[in-house]
Copies of this chain bind each other. A is one copy, B any other.
């Protein structure tokens, strides 16, 4: 795969198998004259909008992950390469991975984002993240392990800290995770740990601003606050985190919160590769691109999804619909450029936004004007997420899991998933 592309067909390389990358490949694949190579460090696409449910022991990891090879199996012109992207040789047009070096004619860089801690001391070291499947599994193992630990912890202060789960950030991810966690504790864990006073367990949601779900219509923001509070979540507005230690969160103007579990959902920044590529990086570590999603001075290189910061457009939220639209446009513009047609400028089509709040409740905004809350909103949320969840089989499984949980207040995925080195465990 090294060496020049050297044949008459055009090779498009897509780095990243998230929403932007998968939608770019889907569009590109329709052109039978293109050879498309998709590169990702994992062999699966992760349905990130449901990641929080894996971290809340609601879904199994396999239910929100789908093999990339299987997604593109029906396209003979799509090839998959597993590998960590290391750098991009813009001059010679080669993508370097820890495995093969892949020459390209056109490139779409769509490697997503990282958690941003904004320099809060200790946050990087002590917080759990919720940006990929590994992190979700780690967090879920930790939550259930805390309950196991608490059963034989006799120091009441320590026990209190173990059972205090803190979520930083009142955006959709923070709201959804706090709600899911409150239900996990109130229902299945309470049943599983009869000797533990699970009333002692609590979920604290810290938001620096004066309301949850910034950007949503006001009455939806109030609904989310009321609903979470009703579910027993300790929602604290205007709570600015100044530091995180192994056993506390320090807050501006109030006493520290004693907790051993801090989940940071308060910010994202562009993938670190942007800097290493020798590309300019703008606000939030993202790559400023032309309205066509091309990198200035490198018309064969496109950036899409969370990494991209298109100029001239009002900033779009870093959510799946934005990534999908950018991935699709990058693909369209590549095909336009190859055909000598003019390229289009990116403009985010805001179809709305939504967040679920625990069991059978959600807030939904459609277009500029329509909103919904409660059960109706939750059914809409469910429908739209199932619609986009890649893979028919996964959809059925997920639906079955949800239906079960809805009826029985149960969680399937409560096992602490084995991790770490294996071979030595077994040595007698």
Contacts and interface: CB of A to CB of B under 8 A. Distances in A.
Contacts of A192: 67, 69-70, 73
A320 B137 CA distance: 30
Interface string A397-428: 10010001000001011111111101101111
Given A44-B416, A415-B43, A426 B132 contact: yes
A365 interface: no
A185 to B, nearest CB: 14
A417 B61 contact: yes
A148 B124 CA distance: 33
Contacts of A414: 43, 67, 70
B412 A393 contact: yes
Given A79-B195, A135-B422, A191-B73, A427 B124 contact: yes
Contact of A60 (B60, B67, B285, B396): B60
B82 A148 contact: yes
Given A129-B423, A148-B82, A410-B393, A418 B194 contact: no
Interface string A65-84: 11101100100100101100
Interface in A193-228: 193-195
A426 B135 contact: yes
A82 B82 CA distance: 37
A422 B151 CA distance: 27
Contacts of A285: 428
A350 interface: no
Contacts of A420: 134, 419-420
B62 A412 contact: yes
Contacts of A87: none
A292 to B, nearest CB: 26
Contacts of A404: 393
A76 B423 contact: no
**Chain A residues touching B, range:** 35 or more
A50 interface: no
The A contact surface, by secondary structure, is mixed
Contact of A194 (B62, B76, B99, B145): B76
Which of A66, A145, A414 has its CB near the most chain B CB atoms (within 10 A)? A414
Contact of A67 (B135, B138, B415): B415
Contacts of A67: 192, 414-415
Contact of A152 (B99, B151, B188, B419): B99
Given A69-B192, A82-B148, A129 B393 contact: no
A272 interface: yes
A100 B152 contact: yes
A133 interface: yes
Interface in A361-398: 393-394, 396-397
Contacts of A44: 415-416
Nearest to A419: B419
A404 B397 CA distance: 11
A236 interface: no
Contacts of A428: 114, 269, 271-272, 275, 285
Contact of A137 (B132, B144, B418): B418
Contacts of A42: 415-416, 418
Interface string A258-285: 0000000000010110010000000001
Contact of A416 (B43, B70, B125): B43
Given A416-B44, A418-B134, A152 B1 contact: yes
Closest 7 pairs (CB-CB, A-B): A272-B428, A134-B418, A69-B192, A44-B415, A82-B148, A134-B422, A65-B415
Given A44-B416, A114-B428, A135-B426, 17 more contacts: A43-B144, A60-B62, A61-B417, A61-B418, A62-B415, A65-B415, A67-B415, A70-B188, A70-B192, A70-B414, A114-B427, A125-B423, A134-B422, A269-B428, A272-B428, A393-B412, A419-B420
